[in-house]
């Protein structure tokens, strides 16, 4: 079980990190656009 499960864990961790980074980037972009609209409207 160990030699099968071990290679999978880093991939899941990397995927989770990438998803978190993408979500953070989307939130940052949305906040930046909202701020830009608030300043220009």
Residue-averaged pLDDT of the chain: 86
Average pLDDT of 33-37?
Answer: 97
Q: pLDDT at residue 2 above 70?
A: no
Task: Give tens-digit pLDDT for 3-20.
Answer: 666 656 677 788 999 999
- CA distances to 13, 24, 32 from 20, in Å: 10, 6, 18
Helix ranges (H only) for 1-41 are 2-5, 8-40
Domain boundary assignment for the chain: 2-40
13-29 burial code (b ≥16 CB/10 A, e <16) = eeeeeeeeeeeeeeeee
Instruction: Give the 3-state secondary structure of residue 41.
Output: coil
């Amino acid at each position: 079980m160990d030699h099968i499960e071990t290679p999978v864990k880093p991939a899941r961790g990397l995927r989770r990190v990438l998803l978190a980074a993408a979500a953070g980037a989307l939130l940052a972009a949305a906040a930046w656009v909202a701020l830009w609209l608030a300043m220009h409207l």
